Amino acid sequence: MYYLFPLFMFFCGFLLFSFNYNHFLVTLLSLEYMVLSLFWLLFVYMIFELFDMYFVMFMLTFWVCEGILGLSLLVSMIRSYGNDFFFCFNVIQC
């Protein structure tokens, strides 16, 4: 029962990531939602199996760095193009 809700959250975040690709910010928010569900699933698993929490802190550090990298890409995209629409971003113009 405790494993089903984080998996449902991950599936909903994956569907949002797959079908909503107009704004870069919405894509980043859906990725962070998926990371939150994975963190919850990993935390519940570690609690029930009586493992140590060092691995959870290690993974949380990497997930925070991933979020910071996404926000820095968003800021650089807004500064260079003026918005966060994917259709304005063209790889050939770089």
Q: Where along the chain do its domains lie?
A: 4-81
Q: What is the pLDDT of residues 7-52, one digit of tens each?
A: 899 999 899 888 877 888 888 889 999 999 999 998 888 888 888 7
Residue 76 pLDDT more than 80? Answer: yes
Average model confidence (pLDDT) across the chain: 84
Q: What is the pLDDT of residue 68?
A: 92
Provide the 3-class DSSP secondary structure of residue 85. Answer: strand
Q: What is the pLDDT of residue 92?
A: 54
> Per the structure block, which two tokens stand in for 7?
């998996």
For the domain spanning 4-81, the CATH number is 1.10.287.3510
Q: What is the pLDDT of residue 34?
A: 92
